[in-house]
Every structure is written in C-alpha cells, then in structure tokens.
Structure 1
Amino acid sequence: MTRKKVNLAYIANDSARKAAFKKRKRGLLKKMSELSTLCGIQTCAIIYSPYDPEPEIWPSPLGAQSVIARFKSMPEAEQSRKMVNQESFLRQRITKAKNQLKKQQRESRELEMTQVMYRSLVRDQGLQNLGVVDLNDFRWLIEKTVEEIDERIKSLRQQIITPPQVVTAGTSSNHVNHTGQEIIGLRNEEMAASHDENPQWLMEMLRSNENDVGRNEAMLPYAFNNNSNSLWSTFNFP
C-alpha cells in the first residue's frame, strides 16, 4: 500500500500542527543519526520551536559547537556553494518540472508520429494533410528508425558465427578442416592399428616363403631377396 501524499501547506489546527511537529522532529533526528553512522561524518541539528523554551540540540551542545566551528573555518565560497533558500529551492523545482514536461512532450510527439507512420504504411491515413512541422517531425522519426534498424543489423551480424565444416576421416593422407589447418596422415587410431598389423602380415609372409622359397621369392620385398643381383648386394655401407 502506497503512502498518502502529504500536502506541503501550513497546518491551521494547533493540535494537529503540534503532533506533526513532534513526529517530524523524531524522524529528522533519526535521519541525522543514520547519516552520521552510515557515512562517518559529523552532523548536528538545532531545532527551535514555540512549544519548548530552549532549542533542542543534537547530538550535544559540544558536538554542535565542533561542527559549527569546522564549518566557519571553510572559505565563504565553499560554505555557500550548496546552500539554498526558499526562492532558489523553488526555482530549482520549477526548472526540474519544466525539463520533465519537455521530455514528456517529446515522447508524446514521437508516439503520435509513430502512429501516423504505421497508418500510412497500411494506407489508413495519407500524408497530404500534414503541415510543415508535422512533416519535419515525421522525417526525423523515419531517420531515427532507419538508424535503429542499421544498428540492429550490425549487432546481429557480429553475433553470427560461421558453422564449422564437418570433415570425414578416411584413408586419404591429407584433409583440411574448417580452421584451414592441414591434417596429414591417418588418424592416431589407424596409425596404431597399422603398426600392430604390419608385423603380423610380415611374419605370415615369411612363414609362407619358408615352405616354397622358389615359388614365392618374387613376392618378397627386395630387402628379403637373396639373389646376387638384388639391391642389397650392391649397396655400399660406410
């Protein structure tokens, strides 16, 4: 439940004004204590009222004197840099309200021109009845919309990632993956299998040649050929 907005006006009723004063004073002193504790700064408050003969000083008269002495030791320009009176406070509020009004008017005008643009696209409303001011605002809205579309397209292009190309492993010696790096030779598993199979193949061939050396002599690699005209017979070792 939202708190009811308080009307900032003088309270004519004496009892209601006194009750409001006590309530607001307790809240003010509580805020002063919280500000001093949370921010680690020196604060003081001196409150005069028609209901008490002596002013109420927080946190103590000695603490208030220390804060006032420190304030007076500052340069005059620094003392009055953030001070406001009733007139300057009202002027600040008026300026703030005017800025908020301008912002709201600009947003309302933009929504109005957006509706005109949408209606013109679906041919519910033409542009022939628009004046010079309306056409200028309409042109500004179109340019702004085009810029937003361009920015959106750029952001989407930056987010696009090229899908990787799938490379099928085979028996060919050279493959190229999607990063452009060349993969040479067989896979590690195939290489390991080939190393394990070659000795068995060689042993089987040697056993078959032991039975019939003459018939299978031509099938052996040149390293195992014992003819006098073989390559190994003419090879010169160092």
Structure 2
Amino acid sequence: MTRKKVKLAFITNESARKGTFKKRKKGLMKKVSELSTLCGIDACAIIYSPYEPHPEVWPNTLGVQRILAKFKRMPEMEQSKKMVNQETFIRQRIVKANEHLKKQHKDNREKEMTSHVPMFDWERA
C-alpha cells in the first residue's frame, strides 16, 4: 500500500506540528544510525528543537565532538569540496536537467530521421 503524497508546508496546528516533528525526528535519527551501521561511516546528527531546551544529538555528545573534530582537522579545500548551499545545488540540478533535455532532443531527432526514411516502392518500379 502506497502512502499519499505529503504537501510540504508549514503546519499551523501547534499540536500536529509537534507530533509531526517528533515522528520525523525519530525517523531521521534512525536513518543516520542505519547509514552509519550499513556503510561503516562516521555520522552524527544535531537537532535543535523549540520543544526542548537542549539539542538532541546522535550518537552522543562525545561522538559528535569526535566527528566534528575529525572534520575540522581536514584541510579547508577537502572540507568544502562536496559542500553546496541550496542555490548551488539547484543550479547544478538545472544544468544536469538541461544536458539531459539536449540529449533527449538529439535522440528524438535521430529517431525521427530513421523512422521517416521513404521505402522504395517495388511495385511502381
């Protein structure tokens, strides 16, 4: 059974928003844990909440500090190599989509050219 598509918009009802936050936070923490376990990588999560005075961290405070220290020890070029902000990410996606569109246009032209080649009419010859 498939789930219905969720409209991504601010939830105005405070109790519904709080419930959704708790469910999504639990799911996010589970995903980070699974990613770390399945792929054998160092991962951490820090979630600030308007409902709690202190941020929730995974796996624990010392684990997060260890991972952040490891990140900070990396050269700056290495740190920022794969980091993008939302604008850069969207620009990259647009470029990739345009390249895909050009390839599709080219493929379609080739298919049109090969499918519209007149056949020799042997009966008239």
Paired with 2:97 and 2:89, the residues of 1 have a C-alpha distance of: 12
- CA distance 1:37–1:96, shift in 2 (3 Å): same
Q: Report percent identity of matched pairs.
A: 62
Residues 10-42 of structure 1 deviation map (CA, whole Å, 9 limit, x = unaligned): 324334543433332222211111111122222
**Pair 112,21 (structure 1): closer, same or farther in 2 beyond 3 Å:** farther
Normalised by the length of structure 2, the TM-score is: 0.80
Q: Distance in 2 between matches of 1:45 and 1:110?
A: 49
Displacement, 1:55? 0.9
DSSP 3-state at the match of 2:116 = helix
Q: Give the superposition deviation at 1:114.
A: 2.4
Deviation for aligned residue 1:98: 1.2
The corresponding residue for 1:162 is none
User: What is the match of residue 99 of structure 1?
Assistant: 99
Q: CA RMSD in A?
A: 2.2
Matched position secondary structure for 2:46:
strand
Compared CA separation, residues 14 and 96, structure 1 to 2 (3 A): farther
Could you say if the C-alpha distance between residues 110 and 20 of structure 1 is closer, same or farther in structure 2, counting changes exceeding 3 Å?
A: farther
Task: Quote the residue 2:10 is aligned against.
Answer: 11
2:62 aligned with 1:62, yes or no?
yes
Q: Among residues 115, 118, 121, which one is paired with 2:119 in the alignment? A: 121
Query: For structure 1, which segment, 12-21 or 102-111, has the greater mean C-alpha deviation from structure 2 after superposition?
Result: 12-21
Structure 1 stretches lacking a partner, 5+ long: 124-238
Deviations 1:126-164 (A, max 9, x none): xxxxxxxxxxxxxxxxxxxxxxxxxxxxxxxxxxxxxxx
Partner of 1:24: 24
- Deviations 1:172-229 (CA, angstroms, capped at 9, x unpaired): xxxxxxxxxxxxxxxxxxxxxxxxxxxxxxxxxxxxxxxxxxxxxxxxxxxxxxxxxx
Runs of 4+ in 1 over 3 A off after TM superposition: 1-7, 14-20
For these two proteins, the number of residue pairs brought into alignment is 120
Partner of 2:74 in structure 1? Answer: 74
Task: Please name the residue that 2:87 is paired with.
Answer: 87
**Offset at residue 49 of structure 1 (A):** 2.2
Shifted more, 60-69 versus 49-58: the winner is 49-58
**TM-fit CA distance, 1:102:** 1.6
In structure 2, what is the equivalent of residue 50 of structure 1? 50
TM-score (norm 1): 0.45
Relative to structure 1, is the Cα distance of residues 93 and 22 closer, same or farther in structure 2, using a 3 angstrom cutoff? farther
Q: What's the CA shift for 1:87?
A: 1.0
Task: Point out which structure has higher relative CO (alpha carbons under 8 A, 6+ apart).
Answer: 2
* Aligned-partner Cα distance in 1 for 2:20–2:106: 41
Give the distance between the partners of 2:73 and 2:66, measured in 1 at CA: 11
**Cα separation, partners in 2 of 1:13 and 1:109, compared to 1, 3 Å:** farther
**Structure 1 residues 114 and 17: CA distance shift in structure 2, 3 A:** farther
CA distance in structure 2 between the aligned counterparts of 1:39 and 1:17, rounded to whole angstroms: 32
